[in-house]
Amino acid sequence: MPDSQYSLVVSALTAGGLIGALSASYFNDNFGRRLTLFATNGLLGLGSLITTLAASPQTMMMGRFMSGLGCGVVTVVVPAYLAECVPKSRRGFFGALNQLAIVVGIMVAQIVSLSWSTIELWRYILAVGVVLAVVQSCLLPFCVDSPRYLASLPGGFNRARESLLKLRGTSASQAEIEVNEWRRDWSNSSHAADEHAIVVQQTTTNVNIWNFLMLQQYRKPLFIVSLLQLSQQLSGINAVIFFSTSIMSSVFPESSGLITVFISVVNLIMTILSAFLMDKVGRRLLFLWSASLMTITGLLLGWSIEGGHDQTSAVAIIGFVAAFAIGLGPIPFLMIPELVETQAVSSACSIGLSINMISNFAVSTGFLMLRNVIGKGQVFYLFGSALLLLTVIAFFILPETKGRSSEDVIRSGYSIYPCTYESIPDIERD
């Protein structure tokens, strides 16, 4: 296959992902999280099947585009679904588990490819996607609808209580307490709007992408979401992963086939650590530490490449990936449902993923050109400088969302730390 066709086949997944991300909020809000995931399995399974049986580059491109559509929708739906199903004291842990699942999937794919990346067996790698789609479709009926999403619908509090009872396995009174807590949060937001003329109230109308982009009340969360996504991609993580094989091969020339697997193992271990730290240390501190360490190791990587210090480069790459996994990997998508009300979560996630994919595409396509123009080491100086600037901005505006409801974060004006408010009386049951 010519390089031009190969590039189109590779980029088809990204193109599909972008379209899937932009359309996900419509299906997520109108059909619910679980039903949307059901439909997404069809896209993922069919896309994997087409690529498995493909006999031409055009067919392969179509299959990857369809898989990209599914990936874009899934990446929007899953963080929102998880955040709405777990207690706020455990959101960080379960949000990091989403990233952990992605890391495990990448690592398993790399391990499988070590033995199946042959002319005879490569199609079996793609067929795994069909199997996973079927398995997920069989397991989804055991999952409940998002309780918080149900509660946001007109007259949906009773359905939300039923969903909570199945999900938590707790008593009816405990489910009632949690539902009433949501109602108080939403009512406090409306109360704050009346007192301070801030338009941040709970409504039964979903916020579409256009409104999220244009309404003044969403300017602050839009800026924070953009900051998080750009920090992840402009850090140069994909460029480092791309460049890691050639660097590590020079240090361990006889083990080049295991290099990517080793880096994935490091990523896995640090992501597990991140899951346990997320609700203890907090998102803000983990983000700042992660971004700072990535800046240092990224600059070190650039210096070592320029000086020909291969062993230092290997250490810098491992440190860079480890720092990414502990914070900048899971946090950008974990925090989105914590920054906006339920009605705006889908649109915020769609916009966040779109920014992520566009910046990812720009970095991936521009990396080789930049490396050839300004030098192998200097390109990592550029990434390090960009991440340093974004980290400084985050230090002044990124709120701590650990243990806070999204309504509290909004009501505080996105203050860095929680504020104290005068509570209003409990609301009558519906």
pLDDT interval class at 200 (50, 70, 90): very low
The gap between the terminal CA atoms of the chain, to the nearest Å, is 63
pLDDT of residue 162: 87
Q: Which CB contacts under 8 angstroms, 24+ apart, belong to 208-216?
A: 208/25, 208/26, 208/347, 209/22, 209/25, 209/347, 209/350, 209/351, 211/347, 212/340, 212/344, 212/347, 212/348, 212/351, 213/351
pLDDT interval class at 4 (50, 70, 90): low
- Both tokens of 132, joined, read 């996973």
pLDDT of residue 331: 94
With a CB cutoff of 8 Å and minimum separation 6, the contacts of 206 are 25, 29, 30, 343, 344, 346, 347
Q: Which CATH number fits domain 3-143+209-411: 3.30.43.10, 3.40.50.12280, 1.20.120.550, 1.20.1250.20?
A: 1.20.1250.20
Question: Taking CA 367 as the corner, what is the angle to CA 365 and CA 369, rounded to the nearest 5 degrees?
Answer: 85
pLDDT of residue 119: 80
3-state class (DSSP) for residue 37? helix
**pLDDT higher at 248 or 76:** 76
What Cα–Cα distance (Å) separates residue 382 from each residue in 83, 336, 379? 35, 27, 5
Say which range, 30-44, 101-115, 413-427, has the weakest mean pLDDT.
413-427
- Both tokens of 365, joined, read 């396509």
CA distance 262 to 155: 51
Tens of pLDDT, residues 25-78: 888 888 888 899 999 999 999 999 999 998 888 899 999 999 999 999 998 899
Asked whether the whole model's pTM tops 0.95, one would answer no
Residue ranges per domain, the chain? 3-143+209-411, 148-196
CA distance 424 to 192: 10
Complete DSSP assignment for 315-345: HHHHHHHHHIIIIITTHHHHSHHHHS-HHHH
3-state class (DSSP) for residue 252? coil
Q: Which CB contacts under 8 angstroms, 24+ apart, belong to 41-45?
A: 41/70, 41/133, 41/134, 41/136, 41/137, 41/140, 42/70, 42/133, 43/67, 43/69, 43/70, 43/73, 44/70, 44/71, 44/74, 44/129, 44/132, 44/133, 45/129, 45/130, 45/133, 45/134, 45/137
Tens of pLDDT, residues 284-309: 999 999 999 999 999 998 898 888 88
CA distance 16 to 102: 18
